[in-house]
Amino acid sequence: VTFAAALEQIGYRGAERCGEHPLSAFFELHIEQGPILEAEGKDIGVVTGVQAMRWYEATLTGQDAHTGATPMHLRKNALLGAARVIEAVDWIGRKYAPGVATVGLIENRPNSRNVVPGEVFLTVDLRHPDDGVLHDMQEEFYDRLKVIGDDLALGAEGKTIWEQPAVRFDPDCVTAVRRAAEISGFSARDIVSGAGHDAAYISRVAPSAMVFVPCRGGISHNEAEFSSQQQCAKGAQVLLQAVLDYDRQLAERGGKDAYRGGS
Amino acid sequence: VTFAAALEQIGYRGAERCGEHPLSAFFELHIEQGPILEAEGKDIGVVTGVQAMRWYEATLTGQDAHTGATPMHLRKNALLGAARVIEAVDWIGRKYAPGVATVGLIENRPNSRNVVPGEVFLTVDLRHPDDGVLHDMQEEFYDRLKVIGDDLALGAEGKTIWEQPAVRFDPDCVTAVRRAAEISGFSARDIVSGAGHDAAYISRVAPSAMVFVPCRGGISHNEAEFSSQQQCAKGAQVLLQAVLDYDRQLAERGGKDAYRGGS
């Protein structure tokens, strides 16, 4: 069953072809999903873009061995290698701040109390607002992975499984958001989104920008996610103000046609 | 269903009471389950005892956070803490050689590519032939766990879940094994067993010792476990020779009664 056929069946397909809908601009309001605005006591984040992201997978291969019977100097401990990769990835994040670098997932094999681990699979997430710097972070990751494997006599294979270039939001849209916060009397700072958003994709076909509001502890995708009614209201106020402002400018610039998205 | 009742039902309970069976001595032949004999080209390991063992569990607690939206300096990364514990445990093993120290099992939560890990559970296995040194290793482990937690603003809880003191095998039995290897013309070295064995428990009620033969790559509990027919035959030869020798000595010492095991 294709997506189109399923939409057809429930009467939701509609007549308009994908990409044909006219868009003058796109403004998106979102919680920050990070702790920066809260930490700095700011009401509004003026989102200037979305950082570039790349995902990697790595496998370290050693030799399963009995924890009691295998002297330290004769081990090929894949989990020790993984520990060094985790430390190295964290170090890369700190070195290239405001970039971030994380090992989020790890699978240890055979994962038994009395077996020196013979194989570890892990994932790495690297992000930076600048594509060039992200490339440097990637080089450093692959270099460190090789050195760690060599030092411990482990196999160490890594590969890039996904990448998304940095997004820079439309300067006029961003200016509209910044001015909206100012007019409304809210404290604001420019911010680069660490997470992906609808606006990052829509920015490929129409001028876009985003408004962030603080969220408690930077927690998201979690039942503990929370922004107060007041925080949300300020975000909505800035969103409305920015749309009105941008629309007014558009009219002043002589009623430039709404952008028609395409491939 | 008790064990006794189940044995009764299948006619395997027997008349003899547990602990009543007379044992003069106990000799056990086993593959080394480690790589030492193979690495040194020795035919026989004269096992002088079993090292002391202790098992621990530790939990590191931080805060789940979005990998893209959480700056490095605002993270509480439990997996980074775990990485440092893995490194520290390995370092303890090397420092206290011939002791060994291993993190064998790790559970990372939520274990997702784009979430900074908020909680990690792991197990630690420490062993040393000397109970006192094992105690020092344990102190060092708990000290390091605390420091690592404090450095990264993580909760760090550890506990000892199992311990077994060092076993020293009976000197006469060990001498019988050493002499048996010598008489048979096989190369041998004294060795402390890293793994637990039947003989470690039987040594509580009767004089015991063990004979080790090499195994390929030190691999055990694995389909790749392998000792050659020749290696096994040498082990069997030493086992027989040691039993005959010990029996002869017993007779010479005036037919000392066989030990009757007790509680």
Whether B80 has its CB under 8 Å from any CB of chain A: the answer is yes
Mutation site for B-interface testing, chosen from A114, A151, A163 by largest number of B Cβ within 10 Å = A114
How far is residue A82's CA from residue A156's CA, in Å, rounded to a whole number? 10
Whether B123 has its CB under 8 Å from any CB of chain A: the answer is yes
Nearest to A48 by CA among A182, A134, A130, A171: A171
Helix ranges (H only) for chain B are 3-9, 36-40, 78-95, 131-151, 171-183, 198-202, 229-252
The per-residue pLDDT string of chain A (263 residues; one tens digit each, 9 = 90 and over) reads 999 899 999 999 888 887 788 899 999 999 999 899 999 999 999 999 999 999 999 999 999 999 998 999 989 999 999 999 999 999 999 999 999 999 999 999 999 999 999 999 999 999 999 999 999 999 999 999 999 999 999 999 999 999 999 999 999 999 999 999 999 999 999 999 988 899 999 999 999 999 999 999 888 877 889 999 999 999 999 999 999 999 998 888 875 555 444 33
- Exposed / middle / buried, residue A226 (Cβ in 10 Å: 0-12, 13-18, 19+): middle
Contact residues for B188 (Cβ-Cβ < 8 A; gap 6+): B42, B43, B44, B45, B46, B178, B181, B182
Contact residues for B240 (Cβ-Cβ < 8 A; gap 6+): B180
- Interface touch B194/A72, C-beta < 8 Å: no
Specify the residue for token string 């440092």. Answer: B84
How far is residue B104's CA from residue B125's CA, in Å, rounded to a whole number? 7
Whether A129 has its CB under 8 Å from any CB of chain B: the answer is no
B-chain CB neighbours of A77 within 8 Å are: 90, 102
Collapsing DSSP to helix, strand or coil, A139 comes out as helix
Question: Tens digits of per-residue pLDDT, B49-100?
Answer: 999 999 999 999 999 999 998 999 989 999 999 999 999 999 999 999 999 9
- Interface touch A69/B193, C-beta < 8 Å: yes
Token code pair at residue B229: 């027919």
Nearest-CA distance from A17 to chain B in Å? 34
**What's phi and psi for A250, nearest 5 deg?**
-60, -45
Residues facing residue B108 across a β-bridge = B120
- Model ipTM value: 0.85
- Angle CA A76–B36–B164, to nearest 5: 85
Token code pair at residue B254: 């005036």
Nearest-CA distance from B231 to chain A in Å? 18
Count of C-beta atoms within a 10 Å radius of residue A123: 20
- Interface touch A194/B35, C-beta < 8 Å: no
